[in-house]
Amino acid sequence: METLRQFLPSFFQHLPLYPEQASTVAPAVDALYLAWVALSLIFSVLIVGATVYLGVRYRRRRVGDAGEADFEAPAVELLSMAVPFVIAMAMFVWGTKVYIDLRRPPEDAVEYFAFGKQWMWKYQHPNGLRQINDLTIPVDTPIKMTLASEDVLHAFFVPAFRVKQDVVPGRYNVVWFEATKTGQFRMFCAEYCGTDHSKMGGIVTVLEKEEYEAWLRGEGQPTASPAAAGEDLFTSLACSTCHGVEDSERGPSLHGLFGSEVRLASGTTIEVDERYLRESILNPLQKVRPGYLPLMPTYAGQVTEEQVVSLVTYIKGLTAPPAPEAGLAEVAGG
Ligand code: CUA
């Protein structure tokens, strides 16, 4: 397998249809893809070959010829089912393994954001720096890119990284990749999204880690990090009026909420993740917690997806209020 993987890229690099392998998942994706192509070719040749051969070999020679129906070969029949079954299962297991690796970002992945909008991409770096269409990232760093759309369906596609992910309006999608070489790679929108769909893309520049740090400093805009921008919004939208450090009559506290399980008025429980927080901002009456009146206004149309991401990032970072003992001690001490 290793020799195959090493041989293929050098051979295919001269084919214009075969992009460079520039991410950790690329070799595995290519190996799987090429194995499927090879398998399809082998079976196509076998089936077409057998059809032609048997057609000629057993053609009707005289008028009134009829085939003999007493042919019985259970072993052949069994094999003709068992072999494809084993091959299909092996490809299924292999494909699932690659799929899971592609879908599951590593724990230590750095979080970036991308927003699709007719017809441009807006990126946000962990420090808050924004880029339009072109993206600059560090090499050898796993990156978890949360994708959101401001309008219609788009798709984030970097052929050299072998990743493509639809960006569905109304929800978050995630793609992750780790660039293995520095350089410049094309990025495309891979879902038809209107007149200028074909122009919706850019260049992904992969830099050495130090170069990336220097580049970030050079870009130098002291933009607020998503969490800081979220905190500002939280205040300016007056979220803090109802969502304080402690639960109040008006609304539950959001401190320590992320990742926990909450019970809903409907009786079901739900894990608080990015999706739930997003929904609660845009469509607050959808999943109300028991004991609270459905008072919260919707913020749909008032905040962009980018602002929602900032709010969600801020809320994720709100830690649980101090334990009661500490609170009491404080009161006693004060
Ligand atoms: Cu966005 Cu096509």
Residue 316 CB–ligand 1 contact under 6 Å: no
DSSP class of 179: B
- Mind giving me the DSSP string for 21-85? --BTTHHHHHHHHHHHHHHHHHHHHHHHHHHHHHHHHT---STT---------HHHHHHHHHHHH
Residue 191 CB–ligand 1 contact under 6 Å: yes
Ligand 1 atom 1 nearest Cα: 154
The span from the CA of 298 to the CA of 241, in Å, is 15
pLDDT in tens for each of the 334 residues of the chain? 455 555 555 666 566 677 889 999 999 999 999 999 999 999 999 999 999 999 998 888 887 777 666 677 888 889 989 999 999 999 999 999 999 999 999 999 998 999 999 989 999 888 888 888 999 999 999 999 999 998 899 999 999 999 999 999 888 899 999 999 999 999 999 999 999 999 999 999 999 999 998 888 887 665 677 788 888 888 888 787 788 888 877 788 888 888 888 888 888 888 888 888 888 888 888 888 887 877 787 877 778 887 888 888 888 888 776 665 544 444 443 3
201 SS3 class: strand
The span from the CA of 7 to the CA of 145, in Å, is 31
The span from the CA of 37 to the CA of 15, in Å, is 16
The minimum-distance atom of ligand 1 relative to the CA of 193 is 2
User: Are 303 and 311 a contacting pair, CB within 8 Å?
Assistant: yes
162 SS3 class: coil
DSSP class of 202: E
For residue 311, the CA-to-ligand 1 centroid distance in Å is 26
For residue 135, the CA-to-ligand 1 centroid distance in Å is 16
| For helices 74-103 and 26-57, angle between their N-to-C axes, nearest 10 degrees | 160
Residue 117 CB–ligand 1 contact under 6 Å: no
For residue 117, the CA-to-ligand 1 centroid distance in Å is 8
The span from the CA of 192 to the CA of 200, in Å, is 10
CA dihedral 40, 46, 48, 53 (to 10 degrees): 180
The span from the CA of 34 to the CA of 303, in Å, is 45
The minimum-distance atom of ligand 1 relative to the CA of 192 is 2
Residue 136 CB partners (closer than 8 Å, separation 6+): 204, 205, 206, 207, 212, 215
The minimum-distance atom of ligand 1 relative to the CA of 200 is 1
For residue 5, the CA-to-ligand 1 centroid distance in Å is 33
The minimum-distance atom of ligand 1 relative to the CA of 116 is 1
Instruction: List Cα–Cα distances, 187 to 126, 164, 181, 182, in angstroms.
Output: 20, 10, 16, 15
Can you say whether the dihedral through the CA atoms of 101, 102, 105, 106 is positive or negative?
positive
Please report the pLDDT score of residue 142 as a whole number.
95
Can you say whether the dihedral through the CA atoms of 100, 102, 106, 110 is positive or negative?
negative
Residue 159 CB–ligand 1 contact under 6 Å: no
